[in-house]
Structure 1
């Protein structure tokens, strides 16, 4: 998986507030909180960045779709299906 962040960046301590029962259950199950949070953040950051990119480029995407609907695609003449 390609990372959108510097995987070599140093770790940074932080404080979090979390449901105490959930935290106790995770500790009892020996779940690595830091690794779990990092994985969840990777997914959330990638999703949010994708949504932002689509929002920022909506006008251009709509315009390209309009052009292709009106004029077809360059590759249309090369298709055999």
Structure 2
């Protein structure tokens, strides 16, 4: 069936726990999508210039 979403459910876990886990997964994925451009820009900066804390390292 097109567009159908499947969710794996563990029968030993309470339904509310499963819903909370899926909610947190969706929220994290949404946060990443909202911030992908900034994350990519920061990763590019670190690749080119090193980490902000590199000057604190003594090794």
With the length of structure 2 as denominator, give the TM-score of the two structures. 0.70
Q: Please list every run of 5 or more consecutive structure 2 residues that lacks an aligned counterpart in the other structure.
A: 1-10
Alignment of 1:47-66 (within 5 A): 47-66=25-44
Alignment of 1:2-81 (within 5 A): 36-81=14-59
Q: Please list every run of 5 or more consecutive structure 1 residues that lacks an aligned counterpart in the other structure.
A: 1-25
**Structure of greater relative contact order (alpha carbons < 8 Å, 6+ residues apart):** 1
With the length of structure 1 as denominator, give the TM-score of the two structures. 0.53
CA RMSD of aligned residues (A): 1.9
Give the greater-gyration-radius structure (CA): 1
Report runs of 4+ in structure 1 exceeding 2 Å deviation: none
* Distance in 2 between residues matched to 1:75 and 1:40, nearest whole Å: 39
